[in-house]
Structure 1
Amino acid sequence: MEEVHTKYSNEELLKSLPNFTSNYAEVNNTKLHYVKGGKGEPLILIPGYPETWWSYHKIMPTLAEKYCIIVVEMRGMGSSDKPLFGYDKKNMAKDIYELILQLGYEKVYIAGHDIGAHIAFSFASNFTQATSKLILLDTPHPDTGMYQLPMLPILGASYIYPWWLAFNQVEDIPEQLLEGRMEILIEWLYKKLLINYNSVSDFDKAVYAYAYNSKDAIRASNAWYQAFPIDIEDSKNYKKIAMPVLGIGGSGYEMLKISLESTTTDYKLHKIYECGHFILAEKPQQTVNIIMQFLGETKNQ
């Protein structure tokens, strides 16, 4: 996405985060955009749908007091390239791996929310030697359980029927329907998936709509979902993750719990109460405190 100077551009957004810079890197045959700041051991942060690097803005300054923060917009997101192919999470993890090598790091902490959690998990599974600790925010990696999701809402059920997982599987139609109208979908998702609706401001939503409104952006972000069958097959070959893993869940706590019990050997799990899916927006202080405590722990603690 070519940078255009508007109040939603990276240049303008970074004025509220003066110690961070906007950067680009050519990796794995695509160009990634990332925001970097702070000093210390590297911590990779990967956003999810329907957001951008801006989703971490409430916790970036605190984390940057002790760590070098690198918030990566995955391929297909924000100012990163939107190629036609390569959206399976194993390949997107390779994007991140080539980026950290280019930045001169051998090992990193890595965290992800939503689709970003899929990539972080895949990174830890495929590049174990480069992963110090893994943090999953409200979302596990895709697994065969996805095939059991109901095709229709269940009468009287308290959960939100995730129709967009199926809608985003469809090629061509979503971008025809949503080009220039993504604010409608973004508004609906926040209204349904937040407990405290006001934790995401109108400005935040406008930032995300600006990033997702083009046909290319809708096509590319849907490609993250269209790769789920490949991601599920890849996950069948992953060994249990042995490095320290942290799961932080709001509405996704139970799914995280089920997943971590079967995919990791050394995990901690925290539930954030009265919180929906977007824990970075709703409970930033609680989330960052849990992350800082986890990263500060040593093997013999």
Structure 2
Amino acid sequence: MNKADQRGIFETLFSEGKNLLTFTGIILVFSGVFVTVQSFIGEFLPHDTSYLGMDAQTLGKVNQNIVNFMFHDRISFGGTLISIGALYIWLSEFPLRLKQEWAWWVFFISGLLGFASFLTYLGYGYFDSYHGYASLLLIPVFYLGLYKSYQSFDKKPSFNSLKSTTNKIDFKSKTGIGFLFLYITSIGITLGGLVIMIVGMTFVYVPQDLEYMTMCTGDFVEINPRLTPLIAHDRASFGGGLFSIGLTIFFIIKSGTPTKNLWQILLLSLSVGFISGIGVHFLIDYLSFTHLAPAYLGAIMAFIGLILTHQSMTQNNDRLETNN
């Protein structure tokens, strides 16, 4: 007589924390795609229209570049969601599946800071109900995944695992120089995200933004007193996403074993981030060189780093060859 498997579907799928964390990554990717597509369509979300008391078409009749600017922030934010979601899927399906302690701590730190960045709305006074409800639904899934994955370790994950470096890298070698470029890129993304988040919480606009929209700071209040808080929300959210991505990539580079899948996820994550962040500026004709220079430099450094590390990381060696 055959023995029946009495487990439930959800029990089977979500008995391991890894699956819940993978699910979180998938939801973030789909959310990023949704935000990007919605922006390309050229419509505000219903709660945005309700908050402003005007839709994108009405605002566009006053100043189309303001609408373009708002969508440029949202497409950039969508790119960060796709990027961090992809990184979470990789973290869950590769190092965490192999019970590598550092991966659990990267999830913990990145998730804590990423979800906490939603609280930046306190700085600009606009509560995004969609963002809030989505976070409230996703946070329990994420932290349940963290809890279950923590319990699955035979030896509880030590924070010191983040301090260790998997491979000793000779920074004078080709591969080592490539890793140095990737380290600098990740630090630049982290600092850039922090700056953008602070800007979104304080004065919101930089001079290049005002020049593009042919506006002064006080002009926004005359058009709609709720316009700046909404724009500030988008800016701070984008900055929070970048901050989380930068930290995640830094620790992945530092602690992850150099493999083909690690190189591939870095290529995917960095490409999505830079293509969305830079490309949208060309779509809306916001081409200030001083505004885009940090992004140009970051993209160049990232892809130089990826090129220089490609051979060593895709050879499927157990250890990184640092003499290339």
Q: TM-score, normalised by structure 1?
A: 0.27
Q: Which has the higher helix share?
A: 2
Q: TM-score, normalised by structure 2?
A: 0.25
Q: Which has the higher strand share?
A: 1
Higher relative contact order, chain-length normalized (CA < 8 Å, sep 6+): 2
